[in-house]
Chain A
Amino acid sequence: MSTRKFGAPIKRNIDPRLLTGKGAFTDDINLPGALHAAFLRSPFARARIKGIDVSAAEQAAGVVAVYTCDNIGHLDIELPLLIPHPSMTDARTQRPLARDDVYYVGQTVAMVVAVDRYVAEDAVNLIDVDYEPLEVELDLESAVGDAAPLVHPTHPNNIAADFTQVCGNPEAAFAEAEHVTRIKIQVDRSTAAAMECRTVAARYDSVRGELTVWDGTQAPLGVRGGLASIFGFDEDKVRVIAPDVGGGFGQKVMFPYPDELLVPHAAIQLGRPVKYIEDRRENFIGSNQERTQIHEIELFARKNGEVIALRDNFLHDTGAFIPYGIAVAQVASTSIAGPYRIPNIHVRFRAVYTPTVPVTPYRGCGRPQSCFAIERAMDQLAEELGLDRFEVRRRNLIRDEDFPYTREGLLFADGLRVKLDSGQYHKALDMAREAIGWDAFAADQAAALKDGKALGLGLAYYVEGTGLGPYEGGHVKIHPITGKVYVNTGLTSQGQGHDTVFAQIVSDQLGVAVEDVIVVEGDTGTFEWGVATFASRAAVVSGNAIHKTAMKVREQTIKAAANMLEADPADIELRDGHAVIAGTDRKVSLAAIATATNPLRYAFNSAAQAATQFAPASRHDGPPLIDGQHPGLEATDYFSPECATWAYGVHAAIVEVDRDTCSVEVKKYVCIHDCGNMINPVIVDGQVMGGFAQGIGGALYERIEYDREGNPTNANFVDFLIPYATEVPNIEIAHLETPSPLNPLGVKGVGEAGCIAVGATLASGIEDALKPFGGAKFHQTPITPSMIFAAMSNA
């Protein structure tokens, strides 16, 4: 076989297209005659709608249609609850267009369709809505109080879900503790802010009765399912294509957003293609967000620092609706013990309705919050017991021989057990300690202190449950004309480079060049089984499905080649696009094998002549295709993991806090990372670095601000501070590769790794830096200069 492609830093197949401006994002797709949609959105966080007058908008030049809840027929429904869970009662989801009430600033009230977006936006401003504003409570802790105004009158204390999970026997362990550390932490709301906002375009072919939707989504199969059921179409009559998508980070796994139904609806009704290209403000006020949680966590420890039990009680802000169920809070609650043995766990959360943009996963999905809680608590425990921060962790980490380590009683977000499947947690910690220069740091810190400088070292460990089921599939086919290999799977890419890593996997099995493997995903018209891209699962679930499928095609190819070359299958090697008899120059191309395995009547080309009915090799004594055989070289297979596979890592940083400006400079940042076997280390590093940058945003800059009335006050890129290149420090990454025993490739997910521990690491470092200056505490992110100033003033 040729050099193995798995594990190699292969350049990405997709790049030349994206680099030359030939990408095809939704709004790049030319739909002649397309109309454009714009939305009227609620200016109130909570209000009763007393009347809507659309007459002026309807009469405006260039306006084609105006929709409210009164003229959308079967779409005037509460949207699906995507992930039901028994902890929720009467879970609330929103309507495509508000009826009677609005629940957050940005909620869609009316849709205008016009000849272009300019006219549509003008017409939106001509719609007159009579609102009666209602009382709101934005503070999460106040929202669960008895006096708080209710987002939904159906839900006392604004509680959307109340859920407790228990591992071991925490009550008994609490009583045995020799030391208890208690800490309250908060992580604030952020947003995915993909560079491409959300997009939908639809075209309806009334002759064929077929609806085609181009959707910048992470879940084209989900969107198709939603459209087919809500519109009452056969699934085969709805084709959803996720074209090139400009980043997703979770926000685009949610569906259906109102526009994903209303745009197809308008296209069907008006007989013209319709496009909706969300603008940045709409993305801030109308597309889902995540993060705010307030944890009160307690660690029950022995004097030597061994934690024997953990109790966590947290509030999770779910926004005005809970369409994605408790997924984010469930991930947080089941990740709360991090990489530590802690055998007894009691974790309860309450998901709380607030009159804000709904909350569904954003990269990290509860993990940054739980990491911040447990890691800040570990630091505090170390301080209280007079232990070194590395040492307190070392005493609690799961040991190599403990794997697989199951937390009985905790169910992860896939409904399956929490089983930390493999890792070298101690080694990773040692590597972090070495890489950050822990042994020399005390001297550096002391020297800096002499100059009045506040230098600190921060540390945080994280785990990441990845590769969730239920399943994905793969379809692999060798093209008989070109010998290129076509690969399909049901999920889709938003920049992760699936087309290259999946090609590497197939290349290894079939001996073709990576660039000759054509991966087509995200089109329900080409592959219609699967789930979506989320939870760092594509490489694990689709990757293994494609691997299994490619092995089947390999077997078919070798068998057919052996037949054609009159050789023993054991002697056949697949390399350079050919099947070769080992040790000889006798070979046949994959194209020729694919052609020969397809009994033909017509000779399309010279290779095809060999497969026609009167060719020498053709049978004349029975059916050309034996019963049970299929033509060509092609297979489909699936992979369904028994449970999530857990990646992990350690971050450490040296930071300097400028006590005059209260700014933070990251002097050095190291990341030790283990996602099992790496398919493409360059892409893995890219994922880690990108996640890290979002982590920096969450740690120091990004917070969605609402005023007391529930108005977002920084819904733009000027005031919501996404890091530029000047804000993201360099990061040194080192990998361990502990294979996962849970899948044939031994891989784990990496998508969320980079972002999880950054807040905890920097808080740890900033606190360490300021320890000699009064000991300010940092229990909340983002840590802004004003928070540092306040913390120093209060210390």
Chain B
Amino acid sequence: MSSHEHLDRALPDTSADPRAEVSLTVNGHAVTREVSTRMLLSDFLRHGLRLTGTHVGCEHGVCGACTVMIDGRSARSCLTLAVQADGADVRTIESEANDDGSLSALQQAFQECHGLQCGYCTPGMIMNIRSHFDSGEPLDLSDAGIRELISGNLCRCTGYANIVKAVRRAAELAGRA
């Protein structure tokens, strides 16, 4: 096409993808939206709801950057369709701070222990750890236990040692140690 040919027509705004309505709870808020049926939950949260704290690192379910909590359990939002979350209770990093906006114990521990550098993997890391903390199951706070706990999340900056420290410190702060 020549450089102006397509300027003569109106640019499309939406795809022809089939759409469906989803209703779910996100960070305690009831949300109902119409979405493309193939939209990933990660894209829905980030671009549909403007909750951009959830990051996308690989879109094939390996790196864990997109981890959120679905019905209390950690889940890859890049391997979940938005329509699959219909009726679900979803929690993202935006729900982690205390109600007054101050950092949660887990967030504080990450800062204290320098458990993050670029911060891209951090929300997924934290939501994964949060799901373990909230599960009520006993926490294995040995070095190997913590490493196992975070072994579903890749981090390319920190070398993990400070994240291991942060998990232990967070457990202390939360009275779980």
Task: Write the residues of chain A forming the contact surface with B, with a CB cutoff of 8 angstroms.
Answer: 11-12, 14-16, 18-25, 27-28, 30, 33, 35, 58, 61-66, 71, 73, 114-116, 118-119, 192-197, 244-247, 249, 269-272, 277, 279-280, 494-497, 682-683, 685-686, 689-694, 716-718, 722, 724-726, 728, 730-731, 754
B139: shortest Cβ distance to chain A, in Å? 15
Q: Cβ of B57: which chain A residues have Cβ within 8 Å of it?
A: 195-197, 246, 280
**In the complex, B174 has a CB within 8 A of chain A:** no
Given the known interface contacts A496-B117, A725-B160, the answer about A196 and B55 at a Cβ–Cβ threshold of 8 Å is yes
With CB as the reference atom, state the residue of chain A lying closest to B102: A16
Docked-complex contact A11 and B147, CB < 8 angstroms = no
Given contacts A14-B119, A27-B46, A247-B157, 18 further A-B contacts (CB under 8 A): A20-B96, A21-B96, A62-B17, A116-B36, A195-B156, A196-B57, A197-B57, A246-B57, A277-B56, A280-B60, A496-B117, A686-B157, A693-B159, A717-B63, A718-B60, A724-B150, A725-B146, A728-B159
Top 3 A-B pairs, shortest CB-CB distance: A21-B53, A495-B118, A246-B120
User: Pick the contact of B114 from A61, A686, A725 — CB < 8 Å?
Assistant: A686
Q: Cβ of B54: which chain A residues have Cβ within 8 Å of it?
A: 21
18 pairs, CB–CB < 8 Å, chain A vs chain B: A18-B118, A19-B116, A20-B53, A21-B51, A61-B16, A64-B12, A71-B3, A118-B15, A246-B119, A246-B121, A269-B7, A270-B11, A496-B117, A686-B157, A693-B158, A725-B150, A726-B148, A754-B159
Given the known interface contacts A20-B97, A27-B46, the answer about A686 and B162 at a Cβ–Cβ threshold of 8 Å is yes
As a 0/1 sequence over residues 86 to 102 of chain B, the CB contacts with chain A under 8 angstroms (1 = contact) are 00000011101100000
Docked-complex contact B103 and A16, CB < 8 angstroms = yes
Docked-complex contact B156 and A62, CB < 8 angstroms = no
Docked-complex contact A269 and B3, CB < 8 angstroms = yes
User: Pick the contact of A686 from B62, B119, B150, B158 — CB < 8 Å?
Assistant: B158
As a 0/1 sequence over residues 1 to 36 of chain B, the CB contacts with chain A under 8 angstroms (1 = contact) are 111001100011111110000000000000000001
B170: shortest Cβ distance to chain A, in Å? 12
A89: shortest Cβ distance to chain B, in Å? 36
B63: shortest Cβ distance to chain A, in Å? 6
User: Pick the contact of B62 from A22, A73, A116, A718 — CB < 8 Å?
Assistant: A718
B49: shortest Cβ distance to chain A, in Å? 12
Docked-complex contact B103 and A20, CB < 8 angstroms = yes
Q: Cβ of A730: which chain B residues have Cβ within 8 Å of it?
A: 143, 161
Q: Cβ of B53: which chain A residues have Cβ within 8 Å of it?
A: 20-23
**In the complex, B83 has a CB within 8 A of chain A:** no
Given the complex of chains A and B, what is the CA–CA distance between A331 and B146 in angstroms? Answer: 38
**In the complex, B122 has a CB within 8 A of chain A:** yes
Docked-complex contact B12 and A61, CB < 8 angstroms = yes
Q: Cβ of A62: which chain B residues have Cβ within 8 Å of it?
A: 12, 14-17
Q: Cβ of B126: which chain A residues have Cβ within 8 Å of it?
A: 19
With CB as the reference atom, state the residue of chain A lying closest to B161: A689
Q: Cβ of A19: which chain B residues have Cβ within 8 Å of it?
A: 96, 103, 107, 110-111, 116, 119, 122, 126
Docked-complex contact B93 and A20, CB < 8 angstroms = yes
With CB as the reference atom, state the residue of chain A lying closest to B158: A690
With CB as the reference atom, state the residue of chain B lying closest to A197: B57
How many chain-B residues does the 8 Å CB contact rule pick out? 69
Q: Cβ of A30: which chain B residues have Cβ within 8 Å of it?
A: 50
Q: Max chain B CB contacts within 10 Å: which of A194, A196, A270, A277?
A: A196
Given the complex of chains A and B, what is the CA–CA distance between A11 and B116 in angstroms? Answer: 11
As a 0/1 sequence over residues 155 to 173 of chain B, the CB contacts with chain A under 8 angstroms (1 = contact) are 1111111111000000000
Q: Cβ of B17: which chain A residues have Cβ within 8 Å of it?
A: 62, 118-119
A63: shortest Cβ distance to chain B, in Å? 8
With CB as the reference atom, state the residue of chain A lying closest to B58: A280
User: Pick the contact of A722 from B46, B65, B154 — CB < 8 Å?
Assistant: B154
**In the complex, B151 has a CB within 8 A of chain A:** yes
User: Pick the contact of B6 from A65, A114, A685, A691 — CB < 8 Å?
Assistant: A65
Docked-complex contact B46 and A28, CB < 8 angstroms = yes
User: Pick the contact of B119 from A193, A272, A495 — CB < 8 Å?
Assistant: A495
Docked-complex contact B110 and A15, CB < 8 angstroms = yes
Interface of B is mostly: loop
With CB as the reference atom, state the residue of chain B lying closest to A114: B15
Q: Cβ of A116: which chain B residues have Cβ within 8 Å of it?
A: 15, 36
Docked-complex contact B7 and A271, CB < 8 angstroms = yes
Q: Cβ of B122: which chain A residues have Cβ within 8 Å of it?
A: 18-19
Q: Cβ of A277: which chain B residues have Cβ within 8 Å of it?
A: 56
Docked-complex contact B107 and A20, CB < 8 angstroms = yes
A409: shortest Cβ distance to chain B, in Å? 37
A281: shortest Cβ distance to chain B, in Å? 8
Given the complex of chains A and B, what is the CA–CA distance between A23 and B51 in angstroms? Answer: 11
**In the complex, B176 has a CB within 8 A of chain A:** no
As a 0/1 sequence over residues 127 to 160 of chain B, the CB contacts with chain A under 8 angstroms (1 = contact) are 0000000000000000100111011111111111
Q: Cβ of B6: which chain A residues have Cβ within 8 Å of it?
A: 64-65, 270
A788: shortest Cβ distance to chain B, in Å? 23
Q: Cβ of B38: which chain A residues have Cβ within 8 Å of it?
A: 118
Docked-complex contact B97 and A245, CB < 8 angstroms = no
User: Pick the contact of A494 from B111, B118, B152 — CB < 8 Å?
Assistant: B118
User: Pick the contact of A115 from B12, B39, B164 — CB < 8 Å?
Assistant: B12
Docked-complex contact B62 and A716, CB < 8 angstroms = yes
A678: shortest Cβ distance to chain B, in Å? 14
B112: shortest Cβ distance to chain A, in Å? 7
A192: shortest Cβ distance to chain B, in Å? 8
Q: Max chain B CB contacts within 10 Å: which of A12, A20, A116, A717?
A: A20
Given the complex of chains A and B, what is the CA–CA distance between A73 and B2 in angstroms? Answer: 10
Q: Cβ of B123: which chain A residues have Cβ within 8 Å of it?
A: 21
Docked-complex contact A249 and B147, CB < 8 angstroms = no
**In the complex, B52 has a CB within 8 A of chain A:** yes
A264: shortest Cβ distance to chain B, in Å? 15
Docked-complex contact B60 and A717, CB < 8 angstroms = yes
Q: Cβ of B51: which chain A residues have Cβ within 8 Å of it?
A: 21
Q: Cβ of B151: which chain A residues have Cβ within 8 Å of it?
A: 724-726
A669: shortest Cβ distance to chain B, in Å? 11
Given the complex of chains A and B, what is the CA–CA distance between A193 and B155 in angstroms? Answer: 10
Q: Cβ of A12: which chain B residues have Cβ within 8 Å of it?
A: 111, 114
Q: Cβ of B111: which chain A residues have Cβ within 8 Å of it?
A: 11-12, 15-16, 19
Docked-complex contact B62 and A717, CB < 8 angstroms = yes
Given the complex of chains A and B, what is the CA–CA distance between A27 and B158 in angstroms? Answer: 23
Q: Cβ of B13: which chain A residues have Cβ within 8 Å of it?
A: 33, 115
Given the complex of chains A and B, what is the CA–CA distance between A770 and B158 in angstroms? Answer: 31
Docked-complex contact A689 and B55, CB < 8 angstroms = no
User: Pick the contact of B55 from A246, A716, A726 — CB < 8 Å?
Assistant: A246
With CB as the reference atom, state the residue of chain B lying closest to A15: B111
With CB as the reference atom, state the residue of chain A lying closest to B119: A18
Q: Cβ of A192: which chain B residues have Cβ within 8 Å of it?
A: 156
A755: shortest Cβ distance to chain B, in Å? 10
Given the complex of chains A and B, what is the CA–CA distance between A716 and B103 in angstroms? Answer: 34
A31: shortest Cβ distance to chain B, in Å? 11
User: Pick the contact of A683 from B92, B114, B147, B150 — CB < 8 Å?
Assistant: B114
Q: Cβ of B148: which chain A residues have Cβ within 8 Å of it?
A: 726
B39: shortest Cβ distance to chain A, in Å? 7
Given the complex of chains A and B, what is the CA–CA distance between A27 and B107 in angstroms? Answer: 23
With CB as the reference atom, state the residue of chain A lying closest to B9: A64
Q: Max chain A CB contacts within 10 Å: which of B107, B118, B146, B155?
A: B118
With CB as the reference atom, state the residue of chain A lying closest to B112: A11
A659: shortest Cβ distance to chain B, in Å? 23
B129: shortest Cβ distance to chain A, in Å? 12
Q: Max chain A CB contacts within 10 Å: which of B92, B114, B156, B161?
A: B156
A642: shortest Cβ distance to chain B, in Å? 30
Given the complex of chains A and B, what is the CA–CA distance between A11 and B110 in angstroms? Answer: 10
